[in-house]
Amino acid sequence: MAKHDPDLNLIFQALSDPTRRNMLAMLGQGAQPVTVLAKPSGMALPTVMRHLSVLEDAGLISSEKTGRVRMCRAKPETLAAVDDWLAQQKALWEGRLDRLEEYAMKLMEAERGTGPEA
Amino acid sequence: MAKHDPDLNLIFQALSDPTRRNMLAMLGQGAQPVTVLAKPSGMALPTVMRHLSVLEDAGLISSEKTGRVRMCRAKPETLAAVDDWLAQQKALWEGRLDRLEEYAMKLMEAERGTGPEA
């Protein structure tokens, strides 16, 4: 369903902030309550909640409230979309290098064919 | 030099726009003049220049003006910073899975030690 498709615009936007990348790194080590995630930044809770909401909208984390505690979890499968995009870029780049190599080989062969020994 | 250090904030911000990702994909196939990069989007030249400037500030492309033509080139080495960041995230995640496995093994061993056969 479209709602669950990873959206690279939202993902890259979410990753463009160091506080949010720190939060993701903390969650990489396991689920954490919002209060723990808030500690290193020293930010006010509403600011922290705003950052977490950007990460959640991008599908990079999920959160669940039990009683008065909101637990956050990383969704590493969403980062696979970034991995796929990078792989596509590399394929374009390497395809280009292959074509350059092919061209260089043709030039060398042509040169050999018309060289002084020919 | 700090000026040339890849800045993940700028890189992810630059990648959060589909027009800029399309431009990068076009440049993955080789250097292009600004006018060619402008074509698929149908955007006005000042808008295109603004997008290219965001990509250049992030170190994702370089550009050079010769006469009236500005040529743009991809700098794929900058994407390596994104690759490194992803690898760090995966390491955190996998380290966590390893610790979970270790914990599960210990639980199983403890259970075996105190099981009905013991």
Per-residue pLDDT reduced to its tens digit, B1-16: 344 568 999 999 999 9
| Beta-carbon separation of B82 and A82 below 8 A | yes
User: Cα–Cα distance between A94 and B40 in angstroms, integer?
Assistant: 23
Per-residue pLDDT reduced to its tens digit, B88-99: 998 888 877 777
Answer whether residue A108 is part of any domain. Answer: no
Angle at B105 between CA B99 and CA B106, to 5 degrees: 90
Residues 6+ apart with CB under 8 A from B65: B71
Indicate whether this complex's ipTM tops 0.85: no
Q: Mean pLDDT for chain A?
A: 88
Per-residue pLDDT reduced to its tens digit, B15-61: 999 999 999 999 998 999 999 999 988 899 999 999 999 999 999 99
| Beta-carbon separation of A8 and B21 below 8 A | yes
Q: For residue B7, give the chain A residue with the closest CA.
A: A16
Find the CATH number of the domain harbouring A42: 1.10.10.10
Answer whether residue B55 is part of any domain. Answer: yes
Q: What's the mean pLDDT in A43-61?
A: 95
* Stretch among A64-68, A97-101, B7-11, B113-117 having the lowest mean pLDDT: B113-117
Confidence (pTM) = 0.82
Overall domain count for chain B: 1
- Which chain B positions have a beta carbon within 8 Å of A85's beta carbon? 21
In the prediction, which pLDDT does B96 show? 75
Answer whether residue A94 is part of any domain. Answer: no
| Beta-carbon separation of A16 and B8 below 8 A | yes
- Which chain B positions have a beta carbon within 8 Å of A96's beta carbon? 28-30
In the prediction, which pLDDT does B4 show? 55
Answer whether residue A58 is part of any domain. Answer: yes
A25 vs chain B: nearest CA distance in angstroms?
Answer: 6
Residue A49's domain comprises: 8-76
Answer whether residue B38 is part of any domain. Answer: yes
